[in-house]
Amino acid sequence: MNMLITGVLHEVESELEKTIRILANLDDNKKDWKPHEKSMSTIQLARHIVELQTGFRNSLKNDSFDFEKDYKPYACNTFNELSAVLKKETNAFINFIKETEQEFWLETFTLRVGKKVIVALPRIAFFRSIIMNHLIHHRGQLTVYLRLLDIPVPGIYGPSADEK
């Protein structure tokens, strides 16, 4: 397996574990809570994070993703359901990655809404800058939700204040 694919696998596996730890700390009785009226609810934000880690990643198997025809939001309404989908779908994506070649990651991937192209990038650049950075941003938001709800925040890239 080449270094590019090894790097992608490491990132997918590593980020999966981090998200699982956060979802495990969430309680369904807080799923409708929002820190502000313009914010997503806790369950909406968690659902978006899981979609980024699974649905959009799985779309990388194709040459493009069109929000008008390809986007199908998850109907999960509990954090346990989201965690189960996250584990199942990410493990399927990991198996897919292991079968890819470097050339696959260098091919162009296009994100669009109907005929409007949002971005066209090498698949590896889309994966890293659009999916992973987006995921990490929203997961960081979710840890703030935990803090505001006085729920212990698990360590993500080292121990949290709650783990010391």
> What CATH number is attached to the domain comprising 114?
1.20.120.450
Q: What is the rounded CA–CA span in Å between residue 64 and residue 43?
A: 28
Does residue 155 fall inside a structural domain?
Answer: no
Going by their DSSP bridges, the two strands 108-113 and 116-122 should be labelled as antiparallel
3-class SS of residue 44: helix
DSSP 163: T
Does residue 25 fall inside a structural domain?
Answer: yes
- The domain containing residue 100 runs over which residues? 3-148
Does residue 153 fall inside a structural domain?
Answer: no
- CB 1, CB 102: distance < 8 Å: no
Does residue 73 fall inside a structural domain?
Answer: yes
CA pseudo-torsion sign 94, 8, 139, 116: negative
Summarised one tens digit per residue, pLDDT across range 39-64 is: 999 999 999 999 998 877 768 889 99
Q: What is the rounded CA–CA span in Å between residue 79 and residue 6?
A: 30
Does residue 17 fall inside a structural domain?
Answer: yes
Summarised one tens digit per residue, pLDDT across range 103-158 is: 999 999 999 999 999 999 999 999 999 899 999 999 999 999 999 999 999 999 99
Does residue 100 fall inside a structural domain?
Answer: yes
Please state the domain count of the chain: 1
